[in-house]
Amino acid sequence: MAEIKPFRPLRYTHEAGDTKNNVCPPYDIISPSHRAELINHSEYNLIRLELPDGNDKYNNAGKLLKDWIKKGILRRDDSDGIFVYEEEFDVAGKHYVFDGIVCLCKTYDFSDKVVLPHEETLSKAKQDRFDLMCATFCNFSSVYSLYIDEKKYVKSITDKKKSDSPLVCFTDGEGVTHRLWKITDKRDIDALTGFFADKQLFIADGHHRFETAGRFNRYCIEKGIKDADSGFVMMTLVNMDDDGLVIFPTHRLVYGMPVDADALCEKAAEWFDISTHNDINTIESGLRSHADRHAFALYTGGGAFRLLVSKDTVGMVEAPGHSDAYRSLDVTVLHTLLLEGVLGIDKENMANQKNLHYTRSISEAISEVDNGDASAAFILNPTKIREIKDVALAGDKMPQKSTYFYPKLITGLVMNQIKEI
């Protein structure tokens, strides 16, 4: 099924200085203030290319990339390889390590059912990525995908390489340690490409990038652009059974409309058992203890939280055209019954984020309500890994912002130059 192959990436040279100061998170989680911080870290921070600004920002990014290559700030590897990428971090007092391989993957159409999505995408974000690719002919950040490998065959190969000293090793500002190795042994590369030849891949993060890569390939073919390896996109592949995978919940914030908690709960009592608490720690433990049901916390200010726990676990919502896997998601139940059914926030409104915003931080959600910016916050449990697989295999897609994989893959360790510019 999935065709993967090694590549010769662009990488920072010693001329660029400390790698730690030149890498950045994925473009779609960077605020304007964070972008300014990254620019101050280094004159060669990749954010200048990955998230350019200005009146002619895409062409400027292309010119800057060409300049950095000419100056020797970025240089293409002499040999092909598949890279091993590892992240080591702590969350809530627990220690985690996960790794994946970074390679090129063929740009399949989703209808081929080789690379499967699980979330809807936004046309504006895809156009932005397309315009950047047209100007730079480069993948600066990787698509993040999962695969099934219960016997951990890939790990038996990558662990051999990890016994060597890494090419790159640093700890970022969030305390996440990043390491990179390069596999060049032909037998190992052949073993990896052969393993994935009968595997399906599940996109964890980077839906916009993957769809854009397919569009860009069609564009290159239509325009007759030669010497462009546009049929492949840079991808990081991680075992779905890796113990180091962590998903954060993405909480919902209601803006620009009043929310009467008592009236909402009166209607919600048809589907949920509801209790009131004044301690966020009680709410968090309550959500965790009811992870086998549909559970949410509602906060509208004043320090009082309502914990809503579903009375049933099946058949709560009707979603014509969608799978059972989709209907069983917490976010589906929340969106259908409460956001749409009670508050009247329809799908178009959600997609345009008119009255609904998102955050992975509970403290931010609470403070947004307390300071009057948001009228209500809905606190959720994280989506489960198996739910991602079930929805994708059913040919369905989750509502937007259903998953937040932590930590994000760092951008800037390797870059896929599709064509020299």
Q: What are phi and psi of 130, to 5 degrees?
A: -65, -45
Name the 3-class secondary structure at 299. Answer: strand
Q: How confident is the model at residue 121 (pLDDT cuts 50, 70, 90)?
A: confident
353, 256 in Cβ contact below 8 A? no
Burial class for 379, CB neighbours closer than 10 Å (0-12, 13-18, 19+): buried
Q: What are phi and psi of 387, to 5 degrees?
A: -70, -35
pLDDT at residue 350, as a whole number: 83
Burial class for 238, CB neighbours closer than 10 Å (0-12, 13-18, 19+): buried
Q: How confident is the model at residue 14 (pLDDT cuts 50, 70, 90)?
A: very high
H or E segment to which residue 171 belongs? strand 168-171
- pLDDT of 124 > 80? The answer is no
* Of 11, 117, 2, 146, the residue nearest 72 (C-alpha): 11
The DSSP bridge partners found for residue 299 are 305, 377
CA dihedral sign of residues 162, 164, 167, 169? positive
CA dihedral 394, 396, 399, 400 (to 10 degrees): 110
- pLDDT of 351 > 90? The answer is no
Return the structure tokens found at 378.
Answer: 């809905």
The DSSP bridge partners found for residue 305 are 277, 299
- pLDDT of 352 > 90? The answer is no
Return the structure tokens found at 416.
Answer: 């896929």
Distance separating alpha carbons of residues 149 and 325, to the nearest angstrom: 22
Q: What are phi and psi of 380, to 5 degrees?
A: -120, 165
Interstrand relation of 115-116 and 177-183 (parallel, antiparallel or unpaired): unpaired
In whole angstroms, how far apart are CA 179 and each of 98, 186, 322, 380? 11, 22, 40, 32
Range with lowest mean pLDDT among 73-77, 82-86, 179-183, 360-364: 360-364
pLDDT digits (tens, 9 = 90+) for 385-407: 999 999 999 999 998 889 999 99
- pLDDT of 120 > 80? The answer is no
pLDDT at residue 381, as a whole number: 97
Return the structure tokens found at 107.
Answer: 């740009």
pLDDT at residue 28, as a whole number: 86
pLDDT digits (tens, 9 = 90+) for 53-69: 999 999 999 999 999 99
- pLDDT of 307 > 90? The answer is yes
Range with lowest mean pLDDT among 46-50, 111-115, 349-353, 388-392: 349-353
Q: How confident is the model at residue 216 (pLDDT cuts 50, 70, 90)?
A: very high
Question: Which percentage of the chain shows pLDDT scores above 90?
Answer: 89
Name the 3-class secondary structure at 144. Answer: strand
pLDDT at residue 329, as a whole number: 95
In whole angstroms, how far apart are CA 399 and each of 122, 167, 319? 12, 39, 12
- pLDDT of 227 > 90? The answer is no
- pLDDT of 270 > 80? The answer is yes
- pLDDT of 197 > 90? The answer is yes
pLDDT at residue 59, as a whole number: 97
Name the 3-class secondary structure at 326. Answer: helix
Distance separating alpha carbons of residues 172 and 179, to the nearest angstrom: 11
pLDDT at residue 316, as a whole number: 85
Question: Which percentage of the chain shows pLDDT scores above 70?
Answer: 100
pLDDT at residue 319, as a whole number: 87
* Of 21, 24, 44, the residue nearest 35 (C-alpha): 24
- pLDDT of 44 > 80? The answer is yes
Rounded to the nearest 5 degrees, what angle is found at the Cα of 139, between the Cα atoms of 218 and 45? Answer: 150
pLDDT at residue 46, as a whole number: 98
Number of H helices, E strands in the chain: 15, 21
pLDDT digits (tens, 9 = 90+) for 126-158: 899 999 999 999 999 999 999 999 999 999 999
Q: How confident is the model at residue 359 (pLDDT cuts 50, 70, 90)?
A: very high
Domains of the chain: 4-246+406-417 (no CATH), 250-381 (3.30.1760)
46, 21 in Cβ contact below 8 A? no
Distance separating alpha carbons of residues 139 and 134, to the nearest angstrom: 11
Placement of tokens 């400390």 in the chain:
18
pLDDT at residue 170, as a whole number: 98
Provide the mean pLDDT of the chain. Answer: 95
